[in-house]
Structure 1
Amino acid sequence: MTDATRRHGDYTGLAQDYDRFRPGYALSPLKALLALLDKPVADVDAADVGAGTGIWTRILAGQGLRSLTAVEPNDDMRRVGRDSSAGLSIEWRAGQGEATGLTDGSRDLVTMASSFHWVDYDAGMSEFRRILRPGGRFAALWNPRLIEASPIQVDIENHLSQLCPGMKRVSSGRSGLTDHLTDRLAATPGFSDVVYMEARDVMTRTPEEYLGAWRSVNDVQVQLGPERFEEFLGYAAERIRGCAMIETVYLTRLWTVRRD
């Protein structure tokens, strides 16, 4: 797929950069999430839906779950994820949030990491209720940057806004869907006990890693188009020229709700 034909949510051709340069997630919200389940971690059957290349999936795999399935609709992302997870007890399969292909009542935990915004909310929640056991939990999480902590990154974001006034960041974990997610989850039939948690991680990244993360971002590329996107990357590269490392604060923001 060329940049000119790239569509929202289609990560074909971005998987290698996504897996190599996207940051992970803070571990403490996951520990708290697992503590909310009504069974030992070693007895938990989990599914990570919209797993991408498995960045969050591999973190889940390190917790000693009984079983873990990664569900991902994009062939390119799923292929890279399977390769990157070689040797781990993760079953990879094609599927999406509205139609996972998993059997009824087969999971104690269903997660979507930086992907729930791509799913039709009502259809997705209905599907998660179907595959969760009573008392099981669904969790949606994101790891947005706290850019206001870095003047350089604020300047780069401002330049992005100038290149594309009115840009809508589809995948941001600090806007859009997340603005009212607590209330929406609380009002969803078949679910209760909404819990929100947040943790901060400070990461230092090389210029290559910083720019590589931008190259993995779908919504910016779609809205800018190939020429303006390359112009944006050039501006960002110039802005961080001379920086040995770029310090970035990431927020892991996690919402979870229990299936009745």
Structure 2
Amino acid sequence: MTSTDFKDHFSQGSAGYVAHRPVYPKDLVDQLAAISPGHARALDCGCGNGQLSVLLAERFDRVDATDASAAQIAEAQAHPHVRYRAARAEESGLPDASVDLVTVAQAAHWLDLDAFYAEVRRVARPDAAIALITYGLWHVEGDVDPIIQHFYRRTVAPYWPPERRHVEDGYRSLPFPFRETSLPPMTINVDWRLEDVIGYVGTWSAVRAARQTLGVDPVDAFAAELAEHWGDPAVRRRVRWPLSLRVGHV
């Protein structure tokens, strides 16, 4: 498999991904740092625009952040302790036994896991931590939530790639051949305006697939219906994504 042979659902919308994706909670990084054998180096695979990478850099001396999409890397958030590189997770290019923590946030379901896990074992220090992180199901406070759930579960449901099922089951169906541990429950919480919610939905791979198939943008009708129930579009509502984690030691 070559470096460009991957399912690229996100390069086309990389700028929107930066603007509209939620940020991981700081507690996640604190918990991962606590179970890592050291804090010299972390590897963040499938890093996208570096949302988790820059948080890891607050607890690790160096973060190597890789993504197979050069477009995503081009949009990544600069940080003095983060080194970004366009590379597949299965071919990190790092030295043997050099990493205290390996993370994959919202991307493990796209990987060749056998090859990725072999790479993890190669680059991991003894007892290094590994974390597969995902968020899928989300809820918005108030009477707008049924509209959002209908759009997700009905309108664009046929257009999600098959790998989406792994996100919805919290990665429980993915193989995880490591000594597994658990972390306390964590949730991404944001207070979003109407435009933030619409912008986030526009980053979904299912929405892009629906646009191409239908020749119309399903977000238009969704946004109009949502606006009717939202009220003042500047009003912020609490949005929640429970995190699902597979965490262990190599």
TM-score range, shorter chain: 0.7 to 0.9
With 200-209 and 130-139 compared, the bigger mean Cα shift is at 200-209
Instruction: Tell me which residue corresponds to 2:129.
Output: 137
- 1:51-83 deviation per Cα after TM superposition (whole angstroms, max 9, x unaligned): 0000111111122x12111111111100111xx
**More moved, 166-175 vs 234-243:** 166-175
Matched, 1:255 2:246: yes
**Structure 1 residue corresponding to 2:181, chosen from 194, 197, 219:** 194
The 5 Å alignment of 1:1-260 reads 8-39=7-38, 41=39, 44-63=40-59, 65-81=60-76, 84-85=77-78, 87-147=79-139, 151-164=143-156, 166-168=158-160, 170-171=163-164, 174-176=167-169, 178-181=171-174, 184-185=175-176, 188=177, 191-222=178-209, 224-226=210-212, 228=214, 230-241=216-227, 242=231, 243=233, 244-259=235-250
Describe the SS at the equivalent of 2:150: helix
Aligned-partner Cα distance in 2 for 1:8–1:95: 14
TM-score norm. by structure 2 comes to 0.84
Cα distance in 1 for residues equivalent to 2:116 and 2:142: 36
Could you say which residue in structure 2 is the equivalent of 1:4?
none
Q: Percent identity?
A: 19
Alignment deviations for residues 68-111 of structure 1 (CA, whole Å, 9 cap, x no partner): 11111111100111xx21x4321111211222222221111111
Taking the aligned partners of 2:19 and 2:8, their CA distance within structure 1 comes to: 19
Q: Are 1:114 and 1:171, in contact at CA under 8 Å, matched by a contact in 2? A: no
Match of 1:3 in 2: none
Give the conservation status (yes or no) of the 8 Å contact 1:52–1:72.
Answer: yes
Q: Which moved more, 1:166-175 or 1:95-104?
A: 166-175
Query: Would you say how many aligned residue pairs link Structure 1 and Structure 2?
Result: 239
For residue 178 of structure 1, give the secondary structure of its aligned residue in structure 2. Answer: coil
> 1-side partners of 2:187 and 2:81: how far apart?
28
How far has the Cα of 1:38 moved from its partner? Answer: 2.6
Q: TM-score, normalised by structure 1?
A: 0.81
Does the aligned pair in 1 maintain the 2:90–2:116 contact within 8 Å?
A: yes
SS at match of 1:103: coil
Q: Secondary structure at the match of 1:48?
A: strand
Q: Which letter maps to 2:25?
A: A
Which one-letter code corresponds to 1:247 in the other structure? R
Check the 8 A contact 1:143/1:173 in 2, yes or no: no
Structure number with higher relative contact order (C-alpha < 8 Å, ≥ 6 residues apart): 1
Over aligned residue pairs, what C-alpha RMSD do you find? 2.5
Using the TM superposition, give the Cα deviation of residue 240 of structure 1 relative to its aligned residue in structure 2, in angstroms.
2.5
Bigger proportion of residues as helix: 1
Aligned 8 A contact 1:57 1:70 in 2? yes
